[in-house]
Chains A and B, each alone.
Chain A
């Protein structure tokens, strides 16, 4: 087991490292194909010719006059060891490890920006995840009890319908109905749960529902097929033959076994969604990590893009790792 975990851990680190290298290279190398200095992405418009001392001073400050490997090392060592962000004038800003650098556009540590955005994304994710897990499993179980029945057909067809609805359609539609037409949710701007729980709830309901709708459908279908398979297993038949009540059999035996794969998928989904609820956050103007990342990509704010991408990769890899380890613990057949 130790060997297995070590092996997976190393793999995870390698994946994150690859993500960092590829993202770094894309942004540092590709622009040079058009003779564009990355300086423009750090601070936007520079009204000085590239050969002027004004321009060169900028290039030097951001270290773009260093060889590529040195620039990468600077970036990597910042994450591993921390660094001091300095403009050579002001007291350097201490940025302890893991330091993802500094946005020169927004005058803020990338880490701070991500930390500020995280509560929004986490609020969105936790609420939606609870909704979709409960809703999806319930529908899936109901469907599985009588495969082929009317309930099953309605459940499965409507879940396929839900999967086919993009959030950038359902989102504005929900806003139109509940905020602007019915007026049930007059103001959906986000407030932290610690400051104004009621407003927090108001701002989160529609995003939760839209995101959960999509995933609940998937979970319903998965639960159904797992349940049907499990209910056909010998031990379930044995349990039923023993005269156990239907509810006991379904809940205690069937559902429990059927849920094991669901839980692993759930872990990976949640990992994937940290940092990539971009569409939901855009539709509902929630300034979470997804919103931060699309804004930084649109403005080519390089340090932020790098930071967010790596965080997203770490979240995904960690989720995978946890799931793998859990699986190995549960199922002794898994070997390296």
Chain B
């Protein structure tokens, strides 16, 4: 039985039903071209292109998703998993490489907006259905977004973008307590958002899983609404959840109500996708190496497999090391080290070459000279305001000059904060301690459990000051790949809050704020974000270390594999992956 893509569309329901009955995965003559792939092939190409349908993709992860509720998840890899079974108005058509491209998903086009980007209207495609057969309506889309305002129940997701953007009464707390949100208008086939502020990047918000529809008022049924929707979220995408045991396993099978004709960005091949949670990283490594699992869905492969992959060519050809959309950096706190030159001394004395090692070696990233990562507008490969020398080990002459200007020629003492337990944190600390000691700057460690580190440890400006945390280890990846998306939460003085803050050094520079405040109007050019980066760097509060890379491993049998850099730090775009029918 030859299965072409068009054939699937035509016989979708019949086919899946037949397969379910027969309990087989379907034979195929679409021979996959396995065996020719090379290292890094999935970074910007599609490995083993194939149209062969059927088979089960077996994924592993060390931990369960933070949530399967589209409105409540915030892990990149979980957004990638959401792409398997949820759709939103807009989606990503191109996910690999460094320039992700948006495309209409549930919507018919990229939406229309008024001149100042405060009113956005989208029309839904016809014939869209939930996995229970009911129609997906504009009301469902509206309801999903309203849920984000119910922060007491629907927490954990990127709700603050929507709350800061969409007009709402000051006391609006979502559909459960405050009912309907008038600023989102719906007709039978369209939806209009009235914003409280111009927002030219609004399509990127609409491409988040958080903007996915949820069945209006019904959600997943009486037992699976609100906080419990995560246990049985309904599917609008090509796969639906067949079974889910929290912290153990989730299984996706094809959603017979999804139609290929309505979906331009997904071309699913597999019949089934399983994600097994396995807390033993060594065990995951073994299974990947043995080929009994297809890929690790959540993160880089384990330390052991990494070193084996890098030294054994037969393993290496199945691995990818994409540059991903995040920057590792130190936040250097002006509230603790008020003198600009003292902070600059830290910048110059830093040994980035060793820090790259401490973060995992050359496969973990490349030394960064500025904050903007390669996927974001304003990136420059050469920008390096505080050059640390040709070998990136530090410019001690300049560091000492800066210390003199600061009035502390013999150095000073401060603390370096990192979260525990962490494999890299202690090594980063040791590297930094050795590097700064060269110019007389002494550091001691200040640690906090990961769960409170970002919320109340370095996320609290008051705590930074009271504990004297001069330097803090941090990483930042934009929630959506635009200059504004990258910078606003970490550099706009208006976003500083007393806890759960993301502008760790409390940067509040009028020149920076001005560029960011103008950005939503849609007139900002790449050069504006380049200038923004320079202006931020002048403050010497963000010390970029490296542009992150991750090392992933794909089973040789997988077809149509490519890296998803739009949502998930370069992990494979699993919705489109096939197994060659096996």
Q: Is there a chain B Cβ closer than 8 Å to A61's Cβ?
A: yes
B502 and A47 within 8 A (CB)? yes
Q: List 15 A-B contacts (CB under 8 A).
A: A34-B456, A36-B499, A45-B156, A49-B497, A49-B498, A49-B499, A54-B152, A58-B152, A87-B153, A88-B226, A285-B283, A298-B421, A298-B449, A298-B450, A299-B449
In the assembled complex, the CB of A185 is this many whole angstroms from the nearest CB of chain B, namely 11
B-side contacts of A301, CB under 8 Å:
451
Given contacts A46-B500, A187-B287, A298-B450, 4 further A-B contacts (CB under 8 A): A54-B149, A108-B247, A299-B449, A301-B451
**Proximity bits, A32-71, B CB within 8 Å = 1, else 0:** 0011110011011111111101110110110000000000
B451 and A61 within 8 A (CB)? no
Chain B residue nearest in CB terms to A89: B226
With beta carbons under 8 angstroms apart, the residue of A50, A106, A285 that contacts B498 is: A50
In the assembled complex, the CB of A234 is this many whole angstroms from the nearest CB of chain B, namely 56
Q: Is there a chain B Cβ closer than 8 Å to A6's Cβ?
A: no
Q: Is there a chain A Cβ closer than 8 Å to B173's Cβ?
A: yes
A41 and B452 within 8 A (CB)? yes
B-side contacts of A49, CB under 8 Å:
497-500
**Proximity bits, B282-317, A CB within 8 Å = 1, else 0:** 110011000000000000000000000000000000
A-side contacts of B286, CB under 8 Å:
186-187
Complexed CA–CA distance, A40 and B150 (Å): 17
Complexed CA–CA distance, A301 and B462 (Å): 24
In the assembled complex, the CB of B422 is this many whole angstroms from the nearest CB of chain A, namely 11
Q: Is there a chain B Cβ closer than 8 Å to A215's Cβ?
A: no
**Proximity bits, B108-150, A CB within 8 Å = 1, else 0:** 0000000000000000000000000000000000000000011
Complexed CA–CA distance, A45 and B157 (Å): 9
Q: Is there a chain A Cβ closer than 8 Å to B251's Cβ?
A: no
A87 in contact with B226 given A36-B456, A49-B498 (CB within 8 Å): yes
Q: Is there a chain A Cβ closer than 8 Å to B31's Cβ?
A: no
Complexed CA–CA distance, A107 and B163 (Å): 24
In the assembled complex, the CB of B235 is this many whole angstroms from the nearest CB of chain A, namely 19
Task: List A residues 278-336 near B (Cβ within 8 Å).
Answer: 285, 287, 291, 298-301
A44 and B156 within 8 A (CB)? yes
B residues near A, CB below 8 A? 64, 66-67, 74, 149-153, 155-156, 159-160, 163, 170-171, 173, 176-177, 222-231, 246-247, 278-280, 282-283, 286-287, 421, 449-452, 454-456, 459-460, 462-463, 497-500, 502
Q: Is there a chain B Cβ closer than 8 Å to A264's Cβ?
A: no
A300 in contact with B452 given A53-B173, A61-B152, A89-B153 (CB within 8 Å): yes
A299 and B451 within 8 A (CB)? yes
Q: Is there a chain B Cβ closer than 8 Å to A158's Cβ?
A: no
Complexed CA–CA distance, A51 and B64 (Å): 32
A41 and B451 within 8 A (CB)? yes
Q: Count of chain A residues with Cβ under 8 Å from any Cβ of B? A: 46
B170 and A53 within 8 A (CB)? yes
Complexed CA–CA distance, A43 and B151 (Å): 11
B227 and A87 within 8 A (CB)? yes
With beta carbons under 8 angstroms apart, the residue of A45, A57, A107 that contacts B231 is: A107
In the assembled complex, the CB of A241 is this many whole angstroms from the nearest CB of chain B, namely 59
Q: Is there a chain B Cβ closer than 8 Å to A91's Cβ?
A: yes
Most buried by B among A60, A87, A187: A87
In the assembled complex, the CB of A9 is this many whole angstroms from the nearest CB of chain B, namely 36
Q: Is there a chain B Cβ closer than 8 Å to A164's Cβ?
A: no
A107 in contact with B450 given A58-B151, A90-B226 (CB within 8 Å): no
Q: Is there a chain B Cβ closer than 8 Å to A77's Cβ?
A: no
Task: List A residues 1-51 near B (Cβ within 8 Å).
Answer: 31, 34-37, 40-41, 43-51
A90 in contact with B223 given A48-B160, A58-B155 (CB within 8 Å): yes
In the assembled complex, the CB of B506 is this many whole angstroms from the nearest CB of chain A, namely 13
A-side contacts of B502, CB under 8 Å:
47
B279 and A291 within 8 A (CB)? yes
B160 and A40 within 8 A (CB)? no
With beta carbons under 8 angstroms apart, the residue of A45, A107, A175 that contacts B246 is: A107
A57 and B173 within 8 A (CB)? yes
Chain B residue nearest in CB terms to A172: B282
With beta carbons under 8 angstroms apart, the residue of B156, B225, B421, B449 that contacts A89 is: B225
A-side contacts of B159, CB under 8 Å:
47, 54
Chain B residue nearest in CB terms to A35: B462
With beta carbons under 8 angstroms apart, the residue of B149, B160, B222, B283 that contacts A188 is: B283
B279 and A287 within 8 A (CB)? yes
A-side contacts of B163, CB under 8 Å:
54
Q: Is there a chain B Cβ closer than 8 Å to A189's Cβ?
A: yes
Chain B residue nearest in CB terms to A103: B246
Chain B residue nearest in CB terms to A285: B280
With beta carbons under 8 angstroms apart, the residue of A57, A88, A106, A189 that contacts B280 is: A189
A-side contacts of B463, CB under 8 Å:
34
A54 and B283 within 8 A (CB)? no
Complexed CA–CA distance, A188 and B463 (Å): 44
B450 and A285 within 8 A (CB)? no
In the assembled complex, the CB of B384 is this many whole angstroms from the nearest CB of chain A, namely 31
Most buried by B among A90, A188, A299: A90
B-side contacts of A54, CB under 8 Å:
149, 151-152, 159, 163, 173
A61 in contact with B153 given A49-B497, A90-B222 (CB within 8 Å): yes
B152 and A300 within 8 A (CB)? no
With beta carbons under 8 angstroms apart, the residue of A88, A93, A175 that contacts B153 is: A88
A53 in contact with B171 given A44-B455, A90-B224, A107-B227 (CB within 8 Å): yes
In the assembled complex, the CB of B288 is this many whole angstroms from the nearest CB of chain A, namely 13
A-side contacts of B460, CB under 8 Å:
35-36
With beta carbons under 8 angstroms apart, the residue of A40, A48, A106, A189 that contacts B456 is: A40
Complexed CA–CA distance, A327 and B64 (Å): 47
B155 and A46 within 8 A (CB)? yes
Task: List A residues 67-108 near B (Cβ within 8 Å).
Answer: 87-91, 93, 104, 106-108
Most buried by A among B151, B152, B228, B455: B152
Chain B residue nearest in CB terms to A40: B455
Complexed CA–CA distance, A5 and B241 (Å): 53
B499 and A40 within 8 A (CB)? yes
Chain B residue nearest in CB terms to A284: B280
Chain A residue nearest in CB terms to B466: A34
Chain B residue nearest in CB terms to A301: B451
Chain A residue nearest in CB terms to B147: A89
Task: List A residues 152-195 near B (Cβ within 8 Å).
Answer: 175, 180, 186-189
In the assembled complex, the CB of A20 is this many whole angstroms from the nearest CB of chain B, namely 22
Complexed CA–CA distance, A53 and B452 (Å): 21
With beta carbons under 8 angstroms apart, the residue of B66, B153, B230, B452 that contacts A36 is: B452
B-side contacts of A47, CB under 8 Å:
159-160, 497, 500, 502
B-side contacts of A60, CB under 8 Å:
152
A46 and B227 within 8 A (CB)? no
A45 and B500 within 8 A (CB)? yes
A-side contacts of B155, CB under 8 Å:
43, 46, 58
B176 and A88 within 8 A (CB)? yes
B247 and A106 within 8 A (CB)? yes
A299 and B450 within 8 A (CB)? yes
In the assembled complex, the CB of A18 is this many whole angstroms from the nearest CB of chain B, namely 25
B-side contacts of A188, CB under 8 Å:
280, 283
Complexed CA–CA distance, A60 and B224 (Å): 22
A46 in contact with B499 given A90-B228, A287-B279, A300-B451 (CB within 8 Å): yes
Complexed CA–CA distance, A278 and B546 (Å): 36
A187 and B283 within 8 A (CB)? yes
